[in-house]
Amino acid sequence: MKKVLSFVLAFAALFFVAGCNLGGGNGGNGGSQNENEYDKIPDTMEAESYEIAFVTDIGQLKDKSFNQGTWEGLKKFASDNGKSYKYYQPANADAATDDDRYNAMKAAVEGGAKIVVCAGFMQGNALNKIAGECPEVKFVFVDGWTLGKENVTAIIFQEEQAGYLAGYAAVKEGYTKLGFSGGGGGTNPACQRFGYGYIQGANAAAAEKGIQVSMKYSWAYGSSFSASAELQTMLNGWYATGTQVVFACGGSMCTSAFAAASENGGKVIGVDVDQAADSPTVITSAMKGLREGTIYALEKFYDGKWAEISDKSANLGVNDNAVGLPTEEASWGFKNFTVEEYNALFEKLQKGEIVVDANVEGAETKEYSNVVVDYIR
């Protein structure tokens, strides 16, 4: 417990020092940064070896979400510090196996990596194997867990809190017909927490307003975290039959949501990073500090302080200012729900006056007082 706590406290300091407040309380910038800052850093470079490596989760590198947020943190650190870097994508794309992931990690090590950032919980088995074979190489497991190895550190987020904030905000704004389209086929823990929190937040806001809210909830066409014609067709149907806003929770799936919303005058809630610049349909984004978390781990390694995070896990949430909604004017798509109201809600979460349930087991069998959820299998 002490190992986790010390990591969390040190990590929280990074967000305050960097001015990357994802939450409320002081009108923070919501973690929104100039996207061109990252776009200007090339995704590929020529070098004899690559000492910082990134092994992607399934889906595209530039998915406008999980992979991209992690990658941007990595290449920003590398660029600022004159380090060589390279990304590796497991073979067989959406059908990648543990062997494919292991081979990507092995290629990174053979390519000269001193530290490898691995994104996504499905990396676990491969990472456990390669970390045991290469104790001299350090590994950062994003959305993962500790593996009992001194050369591995883990970073996870309390996505249920970000989901809660998004659902609450949407209903307070006046939306009563919501949707959730999740990635990973219903097996990705982070997406499950986002979705479960979203329902809880919508229910809480609806109860306060004394209204009933409906929600379509689906994992269909999301197993690969990719945009598809099938997904867009499904979401077109949702919007056409009254759904007002969809939480698109799964990498490049957002592209299908943006298109469907644009065609039908609907709205979208983004995920992982601030997606307001990606589509005018985005009213807010349920964010987590992927860039900052990656940079933090890399700084510890290059500052010679790996021992501080070795075999430790950080579970980061509102009290670390590591999850939240963007509050910059350009990203705030609400007219009725104010930043001041959001800050007050965020503070209640920080103080523990509101506790969001993170146990997703059996969540889809629960009934809610003010939300009727239509689970689409």
- Residue-by-residue DSSP string for 128-167: HHHHHH-TTSEEEEET----S-TTEEEEEE-HHHHHHHHH
What's the rounded Cα separation, in Å, for the pair 58 and 55?
10
DSSP state for residue 188 in the 8-state scheme: -
Laid out side by side, the sheet with 313-316 consists of: 85-88, 52-55, 115-119, 138-142, 152-157, 313-316
What's the rounded Cα separation, in Å, for the pair 218 and 373?
10
What's the rounded Cα separation, in Å, for the pair 360 and 127?
25
Phi, psi of 270 (to 5 degrees): -80, 180
pLDDT value, residue 5: 42
What's the rounded Cα separation, in Å, for the pair 325 and 287?
6
What's the rounded Cα separation, in Å, for the pair 52 and 49?
9
Question: CA separation (Å) from 47 to 63, 85, 105, 114?
Answer: 25, 9, 18, 14
pLDDT tens, per residue, the chain with 377 residues: 444 444 555 555 554 333 344 555 433 334 444 456 898 999 999 999 999 999 999 888 999 899 999 999 999 999 999 999 999 999 998 899 999 999 999 999 999 999 999 999 999 999 999 999 999 999 999 999 999 999 999 999 999 999 999 999 999 999 999 999 999 999 999 999 999 999 999 999 999 999 999 999 999 999 999 999 999 999 999 999 999 999 999 989 999 999 999 999 999 999 999 999 999 999 999 999 999 999 999 999 999 999 999 999 989 999 999 999 999 999 999 999 999 999 999 999 999 999 999 999 999 999 999 999 999 97
Question: CA separation (Å) from 244 to 151, 269, 281?
Answer: 46, 11, 11
Question: CA separation (Å) from 251 to 181, 182, 314?
Answer: 11, 9, 22
Beta bridge partners of 157: 316
DSSP state for residue 231 in the 8-state scheme: H
- Residue-by-residue DSSP string for 61-125: TT-SSHHHHHHHHHHHHHHHHT--EEEE--TTGGG--HHHHHHHHHHHHHTT-SEEEEESGGGHH
**Cα torsion angle, 318, 176, 284, 332, sign:** negative
Q: Which residue has the tokens 């389209």?
A: 181
Beta bridge partners of 87: 54
Q: Which residue has the tokens 């983004």?
A: 270
Phi, psi of 51 (to 5 degrees): -85, -20
What's the rounded Cα separation, in Å, for the pair 337 and 352?
22
What's the rounded Cα separation, in Å, for the pair 329 and 326?
9
What's the rounded Cα separation, in Å, for the pair 225 and 182?
8
pLDDT value, residue 255: 96
What's the rounded Cα separation, in Å, for the pair 1 and 304?
23
Question: Domains of the chain by range and CATH?
Answer: 2-158+289-320 (3.40.50.2300), 159-287+333-376 (3.40.50.2300)
What's the rounded Cα separation, in Å, for the pair 29 and 36?
17
Query: Against a cut of 0.95, is the pTM above it?
Result: no
pLDDT value, residue 29: 38
